[in-house]
Chains A and B, each alone.
Chain A
Amino acid sequence: MSLLPWTIYLSFAGALVVLVAGTRSAAAARWLALATTAGGWGVTLLAGLSFRSAPGLQTLVDVRWIPELGVRYHLAADGISLTLVVLTGLAATAGVLFSWNVAERAGEFLALYLALVGGVYGVFLSADALLFLVFYELAIVPKYFLIARWGSTRREYGAMKLVLYSFAGSALVLTGILWAQAAGGGHGFALADLARGGFTPAQQRAMFALVFLGFAVLAGLFPFHTWAPTGHVAAPTPASMLLAGVVMKLGAYGCLRVALPLFPAGFAFWQPVIAWLAVAGVVVAGLAALVQEDFKFVIGYSSVSHMGFVLLGLAAANARAVSGAVLQMFSHGVIAGLLFAVVGRMVYDRTHTRRLADLRARPLHRWLPFAAVTFVVAGLASMGMPGFSGFPAELTILIGVWPVSRTWAVAAVAGVLIAAAFTLRAIQLAFFGQTGAMGANPPDDGGDRALRPLPPITWPERVGALLLLAATVLVGLKPDLLLNWIVPSLQSPLLQTALRGGAP
Chain B
Amino acid sequence: MNNSLVVALIASGVAYGTPLLFGALGELLAERSGVLNLGVEGMMLVGAVMGFWTVQRVHGGSALALVLAIVVAAVAGTAMAAIHAFLVITLRASQIVSGLALTIFAGAAGLSSYLGNDLNLSGLPASHAFHPVFPNSMQSWPIVGPIVFGQNPLVYASWVCVIAVAFYLARTRPGLNLRAVGEAPGAADAMGIDVVKYRYAHTLAGGAFAGIAGATVTLAITPQWVSGITGGAGWIAIALVIFAFWRPELCLVGAYFFGAMQALAPELQARNISLGPTELWTNSLPYAATVIVLVVVSSRGARRRLGAPAALGVPYVREEA
Question: Do A and B come from the same complex?
Answer: no
Which residues of A are interface residues toward B (Cβ below 8 A)?
A: none
